[in-house]
Structure 1
Amino acid sequence: MGNQVAAAVVYRDGNILITRRAPGEKLAGMWEFPGGKLESGETPQSCIVRELREELGVESDAGEILTTSMFTYPGGTIELIAMTVSLRSDVLTLHVHDRAEWVTPQDLLSYELAPADIPIAEEIIRKYG
């Protein structure tokens, strides 16, 4: 099994949260659904709550898994697990990103998304668009 990565699909008032990787980070300048690698013993849900706390300084509640996608980078294969998440606060503090945007599902593909995130965007458009 390759690395598992959890990604947050935060849908609020008709918009989806995406965040842009800051200069100096891997995939700098690309947009993504916030999240990160599962650590040993974590569920996708516990991982995403931890990652949103670390990356965005916000508490959240993880919901159901929306979709998963396999993606092979030069460094290896990841399984991206996207789940619906509700935030407990609107105040985001960016730690590994330089921008956050709330965008309509229809607009997601006009952003330069990280490659593994594109199938998730397509699923969001199918479900919410």
Structure 2
Amino acid sequence: MKKPVAAAVVHLDGKTLTTRRSPDQSLACLWGFPGGKIEHEESPQECILREELGVDPVAGEIIATTTYAHPGGEIELIAIPVELQSTQFNLQFHDRFDWVQPQEILQYNLAPADIPIAQEIIRKYG
């Protein structure tokens, strides 16, 4: 069974937000888009960002989905465009964040499930 996971696509002033997983987390030190596991009866929009970065977002409609199989199972990564009310992050599961030009995203060591989302961001914003 696929586990649904939401990924925030935050585009601000021509750049896209990327975050790096902390060394003590799964997918340690890989970059990607912040988000989280979608809980029972929770929409992808409701799941986005509050838990991982401590900010309240305004989430839009799904822009892309990707499925990725890893040793622990399979996930469905659902990308949601997000507008932030604040960029004062309280990192919980990440140790770094960066604002990246869309065409430079693939230069980061991305988690495998995030690569198709990055390609869609480049197509849309790059």
Matches of 1:73 and 1:36, distance apart in 2: 17
- TM-score normalised over the length of structure 2: 0.97
Residue 127 of structure 1 aligns with an amino acid whose one-letter code is: K
Equivalence for 1:22: 22
Equivalence for 1:72: 69
Residues 17-60 of structure 1 show CA distances to partners (whole Å, capped at 9, x for unaligned) of 00000111101110010011110001111111xxx122111111
Same amino acid, percent of matched pairs: 61
Equivalenced residues, count: 126
How big is the shift at 1:14?
0.3
Asked if the contact 2:36/2:52 (under 8 Å) is kept, the reply is no
How big is the shift at 1:127?
0.6
Matches of 1:47 and 1:92, distance apart in 2: 16
Structure 2: runs of 5+ lacking an equivalent? none
- TM-score normalised over the length of structure 1: 0.95
Equivalence for 2:33: 33
Residue 99 of structure 2 aligns with an amino acid whose one-letter code is: W
Q: 1:91 and 2:102 equivalent?
A: no
How big is the shift at 1:103?
0.2
Structure 1: runs of 5+ lacking an equivalent? none
Residues 47-88 of structure 1 show CA distances to partners (whole Å, capped at 9, x for unaligned) of 11xxx1221111111001110001111111111100100110
Which segments of structure 1 move beyond 4 Å, counting only runs of 4 or more?
A: none
